[in-house]
Amino acid sequence: MIQVDKIESKSDLKKALLFLYQMLLIRRFEEKAAEMYSKTKIRGFLHLYIGEEAVAVGVIQALNEDDSILCTYREHGHAIARGIDPDVIMAEMYGKMEGCSLGRGGSMHLFDISKKFYGGNAIVCGHLPIAVGMALASKKQGKNNVTCCFFGEGAAAEGEFHEAMNLASLWKVPVLFICENNLYAMGTAIRYSHAVTEIEKKGAAYAITSSAVDGMDLLAVIDAANVAVERVRTTGNPYLLVCNTYRFRAHSMFDAELYRDKEEVELWKKRDPIPQYEQYLLQKQWITKEEITAFETKIETKIQIAVDFAESGTWEPISQLKKFVYSEK
């Protein structure tokens, strides 16, 4: 696992630069998705990850290819950080058959078994029990892998959260719970939905080791995730890591965003994880402004290719409407 502040080899430097590239790719992909949604190219719901990029990148870098990942419906960033091609993600959002879920899932249900990426899950907190079950299966099979489950602080107010935490602790399964606390869930401030607003304190009730980290600081997330993943892998026990972060955009494209002040949003934007990390790399002289510009140019081209791929994709024929609805004998 890399420690970005202790670059010791060209391989470490390459990884450090990759993290910036991934965060930029996620940001630009989400911006393009919003544009395509406004043009009605993307339909249904669309929940953007803008502002939270350091969490997905910082946590997923600590996982290996045998570890499993489950997410909420705000999962485009996680999918990209996991290495799913933006082409098939965009195609999925377009509803095309070339998408990672064959166009059946759309924005909220990205899935790629080859990457052990088990989805965007639309039901709030519905995937936490699934994560516990998957971790239990890994334990029974004698595998040394981690099941990583991302969820928001809104899910921590659901009964399934407590059931999942309780069973994970009782059964001692290797699941890493990642709470992306962006303070507002769908549109209710955390102070109105949680009697105890420090989500990490909830782990103690179930004898689960827990910690919290500044989710706007990539370096902090990397360090915290490395510790958490290593602990889960070596002990086989669950762990709760709370990443305190902030979404810069509304909950979804349908959200009028009447529950928070614009001034607050602008204050949080000053803590944007991407320029913070860019400045860190520049100060360390591990990257130049010209190289950052080159990243942006490369990403712009990559995203346009993804849009072109989605545009040229194929619609599922009506004759297949019942496919996957009923099991086939």
Domain borders along the chain are 4-310
Task: Give me the pLDDT at residue 11, please.
Answer: 81
Phi, psi of 109 (to 5 degrees): -135, 55
pLDDT tens, 172-193? 999 999 999 999 999 999 999 9
The structure tokens listed for 263 are 């001034």
Task: Give me the pLDDT at residue 52, please.
Answer: 98
CA distance 174 to 228: 11
Residue 13 contacts residue 287 (beta carbons within 8 Å)? no
**Which residues, including other chains, have CB under 8 Å from residue 293's CB and lie 6 or more apart?**
none
Maximum distance among all Cα pairs of the chain, rounded to whole angstroms: 62
CA distance 72 to 89: 15
Phi, psi of 296 (to 5 degrees): -60, -45
Residue 88, helix vs strand vs coil: helix
Task: Give me the pLDDT at residue 329, please.
Answer: 59
Task: Give me the pLDDT at residue 23, please.
Answer: 98
Cα 147-153-155 angle, rounded to 5 deg: 70
CA distance 307 to 288: 29
Please give the C-alpha separations between residue 154 and each of 126, 188, 191, 279, in angstroms, as whole numbers.
12, 9, 11, 32
In terms of Cβ atoms closer than 10 Å to its own Cβ (0-12, 13-18, 19+), residue 329 is exposed
Residue 150 contacts residue 78 (beta carbons within 8 Å)? yes
Indicate the residue type of 73.
Answer: Y
Task: Give me the pLDDT at residue 324, please.
Answer: 84
How does DSSP assign 96-162, residue by residue?
A: -TTSTTTTSSGGG---BGGGTEEEE--STTTHHHHHHHHHHHHHHTT----EEEEEETTGGGSHHHH
The structure tokens listed for 276 are 């913070």
Indicate the residue type of 125.
Answer: C
**Which residues, including other chains, have CB under 8 Å from residue 25's CB and lie 6 or more apart?**
80, 86, 299, 302, 303
The structure tokens listed for 27 are 């940001």
Topology of the domain covering 4-310: Rossmann fold (3.40.50)
Residue 186 contacts residue 247 (beta carbons within 8 Å)? no
Task: Give me the pLDDT at residue 6, please.
Answer: 64
- Of 76, 74, 237, 68, give the one whose Cα is nearest residue 154: 74
Please give the C-alpha separations between residue 169 and each of 149, 160, 190, 213, 294, in angstroms, as whole numbers.
15, 14, 25, 22, 47
Q: Outline where 61-140 has alpha helix (H).
A: 76-82, 86-94, 127-140
pTM summary value: 0.94
Q: Integer distance in angstroms from the first to the last C-alpha of the chain?
A: 46
Q: Within the chain, which residues score under 70 in pLDDT?
A: 1-8, 10, 328-329
